[in-house]
Amino acid sequence: MNSLSFPEDFLWGVATSGHQIEGNNTASDWWAWEPGKIEGGLTSGRACDSWNRYEEDYATMQSMGLNAYRMGIEWARVEPRPSMWDDEAFARYEAMMESLSEKGIAICLTLYHWVLPKWVADQGGWENPATCDAFLRFTEEVVTRLGKYPLLWCTLNEPNVYTMFSYVTGEFPPEKRSLKAARTVTRHLLTAHSGAYSIITDSLGGSDKHKGPLIGIAHNMTDFVPASPGRLDRAISQYQARAWNSSYIKALATGVMPRPFGNGKPIPDLAGSFNYIGLNYYSRRTVVFRLNGISNGFSKEVYPEGTRFNDFGWAICPEGIYNCLLELGVLKVPVYITENGTADAKDTIRPRYIIEHLREVRRAIGSGVDVRGYFHWTFQDNFEWRAGYTQKFGLFGLGPADPELERTPRRSAEMYARIARANGITEDIIKEYLRE
Ligand code: IFM
């Protein structure tokens, strides 16, 4: 592999979400739901205590040469009860963003990353159309108070993952298993997104894909491949790719969400309500057809000999990110990798994972996709939802049992800093980190 340079002004960042790192998000639906549900018996608890330790983390990011950070704002913190805006919580978020801005770190702000205020969940969450209005009031408040800070606005994180886990497989709160509910939720999420797009553009000036504000969603895409050339395996893998990947792209472009997660009816103002698109890419799924129900996707995963897996059992496939980027390229807006990373407690696969995925990102740029930034998931080990603290995605190690919550750099952190500083992958980096 040869050295690779990235376009001027490319963003090199890390991505996090509020609930996963801040700690004590006590007015949220997740906080109420977690006891007894989380692997390892812990709850999110104090997480990484980033609510208090943000300054030290941002200083570390700055020293690594990072110029961007994807963070979340927790709706439950700033509106713990209906229309009761918590000024102190807003002041803390403002202090965070001020500190990032002073350090020259561009902000990507996520408004919804799966966690609701408990009072919203109690009123039916995203099944209730009133949640769209509540979300828009929240968006308006955020824009009024903090609108000058973010370069990128991410209205929704991975609506497909949220709907699947919360309403189809029932692994996340509210643990429903109903395709009908999943369809309603998808519609409301996309309605909320398009409303938020209008609020942000109306308040902060016309959207311009060169100057911002840049507004989009973080779309989780998987590279689906049939395990055999057989007709049924090909059909199921294409079906999954359509349902999981393309239907959201189509919905944003045309305003109509196709089945199975949409009802084929137009969603007002959705078409074109974005001026960038975020890609969250982790892995490939190689599937065979099985009559085992929609929550299993009518399929089973079967991988060829030699496939590499991470600690979570996810198949590693760098060229998958290239395929996904090419698919997103049809939207003709800038693309940011809003998440990419791997669960690897020992850090034995992460350096190669990063280099190989970045090589594919660079290849996509060469093929004409306007990729403008890469946010590695994630900065430090954090609360991995139902898997608790068992999966380690961090450039920095962190153990929930450590009273000091010390952030311990993995080798990947040092490597990623070198990539960010060089705005690319140099021969030296390749020699040093790809040698094994
Ligand atoms: O931790 C999650 C994140 O919240 C959303 N995208 C995938 C990550 C790893 O599972």
Q: Please give all residues whose beta carbon lies within 6 A of any atom in ligand 1, as ranges.
A: 17, 20, 158, 280, 339, 377, 384, 393
- The token pair at 221 is 């895409």
The Å distance, Cα 317 to ligand 1 centre, comes to: 17
Percent of the chain with pLDDT over 70: 98
Mutate to test the pocket of ligand 1, among 339, 344, 378, 386 (most ligand atoms within 8 A of CB): 339
Structural domain including 413 reads: 4-433
* Cα end-to-end distance, the chain, whole Å: 14
Give the alpha-carbon dihedral of 130, 248, 70, 351, to 10 degrees.
Answer: 150
**pLDDT per residue as tens digits for the range 122-139:** 999 999 999 999 999 999
Index of the ligand 1 atom closest to the CA of residue 280 = 6
Which atom of ligand 1 is the closest one to the Cα of 385?
A: 1
Q: Assess contact for 311 and 344: CB atoms under 8 A.
A: yes
What is the model's pLDDT at position 436? 57
Q: Separation of 384 CA from ligand 1 center, angstroms?
A: 7
- Work out the pLDDT band at 151, boundaries 50, 70, 90: very high
Domains in the chain, number: 1
Nearest CA to ligand 1 atom 10: 384
Please calculate the CA angle 293-263-117 and round it to the nearest 5 degrees.
85
We report the CATH number of the domain holding residue 197 as 3.20.20.80
Q: What is the dihedral of CA 239, 243, 246, 252, to 10 degrees?
A: 150
70-83 pLDDT tens trace: 999 999 999 999 99
